Amino acid sequence: MNITTWVSVQREDGETVGYLDPADPDYQRVTPRNVLGHAVADDCDYLDGEQLLVERGISELMNSWVLDAGSCDATELLSIVEVSPHGIVLANALRAKALQPAERIHVPWPDAEHRLAPVQR
């Protein structure tokens, strides 16, 4: 995955809400990706992808997440504590909500291996 070609999309306040991953060399078609790097829609034109990401925002980061769901290494419920080009930092969801110390788990950014999955409610 070549993230050097991704274009970040920001809200009016400057907060990054996702990225546009070019599906062709001239960026006529792009794959909209959330801040974790997960594709959130099929390829579309640039302006539609940008609008989609702005409308989606980053509220999904407030969800609970599972690391390596479906494997024997699956974790308990996690909260995303930080997302940056340096990585994704997670902690036990209940302890994080209670502002209690918790072990930090680091996942490379972007999550190209789809190790993180939102908890389905």
* 3-class DSSP assignment, residue 61: helix
**How close are the terminal C-alpha atoms of the chain, in Å?**
30
**Torsional sign, CA 14, 17, 21, 22:** negative
What is the pTM for the complete model shown?
Answer: 0.90
pLDDT band at 69, cuts 50/70/90? confident
- Averaged pLDDT for residues 73-85: 88
**Is 120's pLDDT higher than 80?**
no
Q: What is the pLDDT of residue 99?
A: 84
pLDDT band at 29, cuts 50/70/90? very high
Alpha-carbon distance of 27 to 120, in angstroms, equals 33
- Averaged pLDDT for residues 42-46: 98
Task: Identify the DSSP state of 39.
Answer: B
β pairing state of 78-84 and 116-118: unpaired
- CB-CB contact of 116 with 66 (8 Å): yes
The sheet with strand 87-92 has its strands ordered as 105-107, 87-92, 78-84, 65-67, 116-118
Q: What is the pLDDT of residue 121?
A: 63
pLDDT band at 97, cuts 50/70/90? confident
- Averaged pLDDT for residues 74-98: 90
Interval 3-19: pLDDT, tens: 999 999 999 999 999 99
Alpha-carbon distance of 6 to 71, in angstroms, equals 30
- Averaged pLDDT for residues 83-94: 94
